[in-house]
Amino acid sequence: MLEKAQSCYFCTSKFKKDKIMFGDMMGMMGKLKETQQKVEETKKRMSTVLIDEKSSDGLINVTVTADRQIKKIDIADELLEDKEQLEDYLILTLNKALDRASDIFDKEVAAVASEGMPNIPGMDMFK
């Protein structure tokens, strides 16, 4: 009669470790995929976040989205007489608005990404 094979302690221990590590890896991959999806949703939502910026004297008002799309520009009539001054105002005001939009976009995406990242030492690129 054949005897039942006895389990090797090291073999079963290694199998359990592999199973745990594989399960952790699958869970981590699922969490990363979920985080990636949330990041993409956040990026899409940024097109609905409006940022208003105006020149220091209020002669130009611009509205941009957090994903850096210009939606509206209001120019006071008095600026229409001086092309060079108008260009300077537009550049300054648009750059301020786009800088704010970039900051908001980056912070929102980083917050979503860091919240879903597994705690891996040395992988703190979003913190």
Q: What's the order of all strands across the beta sheet hosting 50-54?
A: 50-54, 60-65, 70-75
Q: In the beta sheet, which residues pair with residue 63?
A: 52, 72
From residue 50, give the alpha-carbon distance in Å to each of 13, 79, 87.
57, 24, 23
pLDDT (mean) for 55-70: 95
Q: How many CB atoms lie within 10 A of CB 96?
A: 17
The residues, any chain, with a CB within 8 Å of residue 50's CB and separated by 6 or more, are 63, 64, 65, 66, 71
Nearest to 93 by CA among 78, 75, 108: 75
pLDDT digits (tens, 9 = 90+) for 100-125: 999 999 998 888 888 766 555 555 55
Quickly state the pLDDT bin for 90 (edges 50, 70, 90). Answer: very high
